[in-house]
Amino acid sequence: MDIEKRKKAVGEMVKTMLNPKHKREDISFTLGWDVVATYSETQINSLLEKRYNENKTKILHTLEMAVDLPQSYKKTPDRTQYVLKIGPPVLEFEATGGAQPLCSIKMRVIEGTITKHGGNPRKAKPGWMIRLGQIPLASAKGTVSQGKLQGNPTLTPAPDAVKFGSTTDETQHVLLAFELNENLTVEAFPEDPGFHSAEETAFTNLEFQKAFRKYFTKPASSQERLSLSYAIASVNNQPNDQAPGLRPVRFQFATFSTEDKNRDKSLLSIFIDVAGGLNTGQSDMLQDRWAKQWKDEGIMPVPEGFSATLMFSSAFFNTVILKNGISKSGWAVEDVSPKDQAYSKIECRHTGTFDVPGHDEIDGVVTFHTDGAQIPLSNFPLALTIRQDSEFQTPSISGFWSITQDVPWKETLRFNGMRKWQGGWIVGQWYLCDQGDSSRRPLRLKETEMTLTDEALNLDFKPDIKEVIWFNPPEENPTGGKLWSKEMEVLGTRIPDVKISPFGFGFLRMTNLIFPGGNVIEIDRNIGVRAPKDIILFGDVMKD
């Protein structure tokens, strides 16, 4: 798909998220989780096919089993030996509104023989497909070697969140947990609807299907359980060098499948909470909640033309990413975003002091003096707003900052040994505004950049905050003299020496999906960042 069509698809998704049809108290789409990584079944099938072709794993290549087939002409069944070469599995997530994410795999019969007891082998004609359905997903801890999870790990069913150890590095894998459902569905059908052969009953009879089901649902005590070879995703809690604080502490997964036959989209989503995050991810009925919110809005978590997205909750982005980055420049950060509105707002309070030194302006016998002031900047929060003004552009960042301080002044006239004075207060006002126009507030920080690299999202606030702060002098001159105007010019040079230094955070290796230890999603930099509320990055799963 060309770039313009991809942009349009992103725009349609973002536009809907900006104005959801179904109003909620919290319009974030991450269901309280810090990070949600989603990718399509196409990439999972590529992974399974690769493992199949390596021929080093237990992914089914050759099916050998004996089946007692009932016969109409005699009471005793015929013991029939099947030896079938099976093609790579093709996975599809099933549309479900229940608590348990489910999938199916279909496998093509490439060739083989079917031999009745005492008879001669006859060739199984190719072209038959066997689908195994209602397969639960589960997670297990361990190490994958030669495409298989080693040992005999315990499976954790999908409806439960998985917690990582707090002191050790662990890797958790998402598996096709055949053994968790003894009632897997089995369906045999010709690849070509017009195809028919003598082997039809050999694949469609109930005894064959029972045996096929049993072949996959080996008990957890079995060292030959097939589920350990059907890992489709991995998540580890190893910290990212670029963002050592972003260490996953728990995860869960859910699926999404559209019933629209015109759209090839079936998706797996990994939900992650990180250390230092809010840890408010909704675990209960996650599968149902996740599927429902997208179907209610008529959109998908991955738009057409892409195979993956990374979504960061606005609360996580504000309270962890922005807070950690901006605090390095001497600011304390608080998230004050309205949960039901499609923008984010944070308050930044500088921990330093704005020193306005005293000053004298002298003109002959007249001295104009200001006492100066020490202004605690923590009393005056800088409000930053992140808003998606257009679904086709990167989000805008605006700032509002107003500092107000009464500065004492005194004008003294000395003449022939006499002294006369007058005084009062200058209501000093410093604004973050555009070219000294205090009416143009809040100020849109047009030059601020949100840029992407292969591993990080970087924010560079431009220009420095101190370069867009202006002193707004009082309109009235109570003295009527020129020294007042000169002093206002001096006060105009007194600007808080503050800034927000550039910062970034690594995000890709944090998830470590599919290919542990390496980049997973190649972000489309032509699209960039979108922020309908949550921060979303769009891309494709990288080919190995």
pLDDT-derived band at 44, boundaries 50, 70, 90: confident
Q: Do 431 and 466 touch, CB atoms closer than 8 A? A: no
Q: Total domain count for the chain?
A: 2
pLDDT-derived band at 286, boundaries 50, 70, 90: very high
Q: Do 227 and 167 touch, CB atoms closer than 8 A? A: no
What's the pTM value of the predicted model, to 2 decimals?
A: 0.88
Using DSSP's 3-state secondary structure scheme, residue 437 falls into: strand
Q: How would DSSP label each residue in 279-301?
A: -----TTHHHHHHHHHHHHT--S
* pLDDT for 516: 44
pLDDT at 329 over 90: yes
365 and 258 in one domain? no
Is residue 304 in some structural domain?
yes
pLDDT at 179 over 60: yes
- Rounded to an integer, the average pLDDT of 528-544 is 87
* pLDDT for 243: 57
Is residue 340 in some structural domain?
yes
Is residue 320 in some structural domain?
no
366 and 217 in one domain? no
Cβ neighbours of residue 408 closer than 8 Å, sequence gap 6 or more: 370, 371, 423, 424, 425, 426
Higher pLDDT, 286 or 436: 286
pLDDT at 513 over 60: no
378 and 296 in one domain? no
- pLDDT tens digits, residue range 426-457? 999 999 987 656 667 788 887 787 877 766 78
Closest Cα to residue 34, out of 271, 387, 363? 271
486 and 535 in one domain? no
Between 58-67, 217-226, 377-386, 425-434, the lowest mean confidence (pLDDT) is in 217-226
Higher pLDDT, 241 or 538: 538
CA 409 to chain centre: 55
Helix (H) or strand (E) holding 141: strand 128-141
Query: Which range of residues forms the domain containing residue 119?
Result: 3-315+508-541
Q: Amino acid identity, residue 220?
A: A
- pLDDT tens digits, residue range 74-101? 777 888 999 999 999 999 998 766 778 9
207 and 73 in one domain? yes
- Rounded Cα gap, residues 438 and 448, in angstroms: 20
47 and 110 in one domain? yes
Mark residue 465 as left, alpha or beta (left: phi above 0; alpha: psi -120 to 50; beta: remaining): alpha
Q: Where are the alpha helices (DSSP H) in 55-148?
A: none
Is residue 453 in some structural domain?
yes
- Rounded Cα gap, residues 178 and 176, in angstroms: 6
Q: Amino acid identity, residue 273?
A: D
342 and 225 in one domain? no
* pLDDT for 240: 63
406 and 301 in one domain? no
Higher pLDDT, 5 or 220: 5
* pLDDT for 314: 95
137 and 279 in one domain? yes
* Whole-number Cα distances in Å, 379 to 349, 374, 402, 404: 7, 12, 10, 10
Give the tokens for residue 120.
Answer: 């001669």
Cβ neighbours of residue 240 closer than 8 Å, sequence gap 6 or more: 246, 455, 506, 507, 509, 510
Is residue 49 in some structural domain?
yes
* pLDDT for 517: 43
400 and 473 in one domain? yes
* pLDDT for 336: 97
Q: pLDDT above 90 covers what percent of the chain?
A: 52
pLDDT at 518 over 50: no
515 and 401 in one domain? no
Is residue 514 in some structural domain?
yes
pLDDT at 394 over 70: yes
Is residue 321 in some structural domain?
no
Number of alpha helices (DSSP H) and beta strands (DSSP E) in the chain: 9, 35
Is residue 323 in some structural domain?
no
Q: Count the Cβ atoms, other than its own, within 10 Å of residue 109.
A: 22
345 and 207 in one domain? no
* pLDDT for 69: 83
pLDDT at 380 over 60: yes
Between 224-238, 360-374, 518-532, the lowest mean confidence (pLDDT) is in 518-532
* pLDDT for 195: 66
- pLDDT tens digits, residue range 480-501? 889 999 999 999 999 999 999 9
